[in-house]
Chain A
Amino acid sequence: MNTVLRALRPLTTGLFSIAAIIAVVMLAAPSAQASDKPIRIGLVTFLSGPAAGPFGVPARIAAEAIVESLNAGEVPAPYGSIGLSGLPIELVIIDEAGGATKQVAEFRNLVERQKVDFVIGYISSGDCLAIPPVAEELKKLTVLFDCGTPRVFEEASYKYVFRTRPHATMDAVAGARYLLETRPDLKSYAGINQNYAWGQDSWKDWTAVLEVLRPKAKVTTSQMPKFGAGQYGAEISALMRSRPEVIHSSLWGGDLEAFMLQSTPRGLFRRSDLLLIAGEPNLHRLVGNIPDGTIVGARGPHGVFAPKGKLNDWLRRIYKAKTGREPNYPAYSAAQAFLGLKAAYERARLEKVKSAIPMAAVEGVKEGMEQAYQMPNTEEVIAAFENLTFESPSGKVMMKLGKGHQAVQGTAYGTTRTVGGKIIIENIKYYPVEQVQPPEGISSIDWIKGGLKPGRW
C-alpha cells in the first residue's frame, strides 16, 4: 500500500504542476468577449540589439506618434477621420529581437493571446520570410513594414500578408543609374558589405545591375566583413590597395559608423568615391566623417527625398515633437504601413455602405443597413487592400506586385555635403517605378539579367 502511495505521489505532483501551468496559461489569456473597440494593432519592431537604434526605435516612436495623431483625428486629408474609420487604435508593441523561432511563437501569442486585429511589423528579412505562412494559418492580416527581401512575394503568394514598402531591388538599380549618370565612363568599383543575407543580396544585385548597365567596369575587390565586426583595418587596406573609382556599401548602423570613422583618417575617400545604399538612418551621426559627394539613398523616397506635401509635413512635425530630430526612413516605412492599412480599412467600409440595400427595397432595409454600417471584416479589408493606391508622406504608394500585396514606389538618390556641422543632401534625382522595379511575374534577378526592361505599369 505504502509503495503504491509513494509511487503515486510524484504522479500527483506531476499532474498538479501541469494543471497549474495550464491554469496560469488560461488565466493569462484575456477573455474572448472583449468588446470590439478599439482596434488593436500589434507592432513588432526591434527594441533591442543592433537594429534597434537606427531602425527599430525610430519606427516605434513614429508608430506611437502616428497612432496618437490618428486617434486625435489630426492627420491631413485623406486621413482626417479618427483612428480607423472612427474607431480608435490601440498599439501592442513587442520586440523583434531573438530570431525567427521566437518571432513565430510571439506572433501566435500576439494574435491569440493579445487578440490583436492586425499586425504591423518586421524589419529583419528572416522574420519576413518566417511569419507569412503563420499569418496565413491564423488568418490574420499582417503588414510587413520595413524588410526588403524580394523573396517574400517572389517565392510564394499570400492572402493575408501585405508589404507596404517596395522591395530592395530598386536600391541597387536606382543607385547604379545615379552613379552612371554622373560617371558614365566608370572603369572600376569595389564593395564592402556585411557577410549576411542583406549584405550578400545587396552586393549580388549591385554587380548584376552594373554588368548590364556598364559591362566595361571591373570589380577590383569585394570585402565581406562579418556582421558587427567593428574593426575594418584589413578591409580598408584591401580597398585602398585595389584603388576602385567607387566603393559600394550596404553597411548600416554601428558597422557603418565604425567603418567611416576608421576609413576617413586613412584617406580612403581621397582615392575613391562612396555610395551608401542604406546610409540615411545614420546620416546625422556621421558629421565630420563622411566625404562631400557621397551618394546616399534612403531605400525609397523617404526623409529628405520625400516630396513636399501636407502628409510629409505632418509626419516631420509629429516625429520632431517626440525626438527633436527629423524622421528617418524606418519612420516613413511605419507611416506607410499605418496609412496603407487605414486606407484599405476605410475603403472596405465605404464599399460596404455603397453596396447596402437601397432604401427603395422595403424588405430587409433595417437588416441591410445594420449590416452595411458594421465594421468590415478581415476578408473585406483584404479585398480593399489588394491593388490599392494610397497617399503617404513619401508620395503615392501602389500595391502592384505579388498579386496586389507588394507595394511599389519610385526612389531617389542624392549626394551629401556638410554645411556648418550639418549634412545636407543635394543633386537629388528621382527614379520612377518603371525604371527601378521589375514588373509582376518576373523575379528581380531575372529582370536585372534580362536588361532591366521597363514594364508596363
Chain B
Amino acid sequence: MRIDRTIIVLTAAMAALLAFTPFLPNWAMFLFTVSLCYGVVVLGMMLLVRTGLVSFGHGLYYCLGAYAAGTLEPLFGITELAVMIGSAVAVTAIVSAILALLLRKYRDIFFAMLSLAFSMILYGLLVKTSSLGSTDGFNVTVKTLFGLHIADTAYERYLIFALTVLICWTCAVLMHFYLKSHRGRLAEAIRDNELRVEYMGASVANTIHLHYVMSAVLAGLGGALMAVSVGHIDPEMAYWTTSGEFVFITILSGTGSVLAPFLGATIFESIRSFAYEYSPNTWQMALGITMLMVIMFLPGGLWSLFKRASRRVA
C-alpha cells in the first residue's frame, strides 16, 4: 500500500491543531482560525493558478459567502452554523457557475480584470445598501451548531475553530485527490498548451468552468468561516485589496502542494500580526519587504523551500 505523504502531513497537522490549540492562548487560536480561513480561499486560488488563471476578484466569493451566511439572521432569523455554511456554498456555487459562462472565455489580464470588475460590482452594491449597514457592515452571531447551543459558552471559540480545521482538512484532502485525478492533471496541461489539450479530446472550457466554480466555493467557505469567527462582516471583503491579499498569499505560498496555501496563510497572518505590534507605523512595509524577498529569492513560493530540502535529502 502506498502511503501518501501529503495526506499524512495534513492529517497530522489537523490532529496537532485540534489537540494543542486548547492549550495555546486565545489569540493564537484566533490567528490559526484566520489563517485557515485565508488558507482555504487560497487553496481555490491555487487551483486557478495551476490552470493558468489569476483572479483579482476572488473577494467577490469571499464576500458573497460571508453575506450569504451573515444575512440569514436579519432575513430569516437563522443562526445555525451548519445552515449558514451550507447557504454560503450554495450561493457561491450558483453565482460562480453563471459568471463562469462568461469568464471561461478569457485568459491572462482579461480574466484578472473581468473578475476584478465583478467583485467591485458587489462592493458597490453593498456600499449602497444602507439597510445592511453600508461600509459599516453588521455583526454576525452564531447560536447553534447542529442544533447544539454554543453561543456564549466556554467552548464556542474552540468549536468554531475545530469546525474550521475539519472543513479545511476535508477541502485539502479532496483537492489533493482531485489534483491527482485525470481532470485535475489537466490544469497544468491547460496552462502550458490549451490547443494540445483540445486536440487530445478534453474540453478546456469545461475544465476551466469547473475549476472556477470549485475555487469560488472554497472562497465562499473561507468567507463564511471568517464571518462567524470574526463576528462582523462589511463590504471591504469584496474590495480589490482583499482580492489582492489572496493573490499575495498565493504567490507567497507557491502552488506546489495543497499544504502550501495553509502554510503561506499562517506565515502571512503571523508576519502581519507581529508587524502591527512591533512597527505600528510601518507594518505595510514589513509585508511589502516579505513579498519582495519571496519574489526575488523564492520565485516558486515558500513551498519551494520544502521541495528543495526534500530533494537534497533524497
Contact = CB atoms under 8 A, between A and B. Distances in A.
A129 B133 contact: yes
Interface in B276-313: 276-277, 280-281, 283-284, 306, 309-310, 313
B265 to A, nearest CB: 12
B20 interface: yes
Contacts of A18: 13, 16-17
A108 interface: yes
Given A9-B313, A22-B20, A126 B137 contact: yes
B36 to A, nearest CB: 13
Q: How large is the interface on A (under 10, 10 to 19, 20 to 34, 35 or more residues)?
A: 35 or more
A195 B129 CA distance: 10
B134 interface: yes
A21 B270 contact: yes
A361 interface: no
Taking chain A's interface residues, is the majority helix, strand, or loop, or is none over half, making it mixed? helix
B127 interface: yes
B133 A15 contact: no
Interface stretch (A92-100, A274-282, A365-373): A92-100
Given A10-B6, A21-B270, A130-B230, A196 B135 contact: yes
Interface string B129-158: 010011111110100000000000000010
Interface string A181-209: 00000000000000111101100100000
B138 A129 contact: yes
A6 B5 contact: yes
A211 interface: no
A451 B26 CA distance: 48
Interface stretch (A68-76, A109-117, A383-391, A396-404): A109-117
A94 B128 CA distance: 30
Contacts of B5: 6-7, 9-11
Nearest to A134: B231
Interface stretch (B27-35, B185-193, B202-210, B211-219): B27-35
Q: How large is the interface on B (under 10, 10 to 19, 20 to 34, 35 or more residues)?
A: 35 or more
Contacts of A4: 3
Contacts of B9: 10-11, 13-14
B135 A197 contact: yes
B25 interface: yes
A401 to B, nearest CB: 19
B34 A101 contact: yes
Given A7-B5, A9-B313, A11-B12, A100 B284 contact: no
A386 B314 CA distance: 67
A149 interface: yes
B234 interface: yes
A22 B34 CA distance: 15
A36 to B, nearest CB: 19
Residue among B135, B136, B266 with the highest chain A CB neighbour number at 10 A? B136
Nearest to B26: A112
A48 interface: yes
B194 interface: no
A8 B167 CA distance: 24
A133 interface: yes
B272 interface: yes
7 closest A-B pairs by CB = A130-B232, A14-B9, A197-B134, A197-B136, A196-B135, A112-B27, A7-B3
Interface of B: 2-6, 8-9, 12-13, 16-17, 20, 24-28, 30-31, 34, 127-128, 130, 133-139, 141, 157, 226, 230-234, 236-237, 242, 259, 263, 266, 269-270, 272-274, 276-277, 280-281, 283-284, 306, 309-310, 313-314
25 contacts: A3-B3, A10-B6, A10-B306, A10-B310, A11-B8, A13-B309, A24-B270, A95-B276, A95-B281, A99-B236, A101-B236, A101-B237, A104-B230, A104-B232, A105-B230, A109-B277, A111-B27, A126-B236, A130-B137, A130-B234, A133-B231, A196-B134, A197-B130, A197-B136, A227-B135
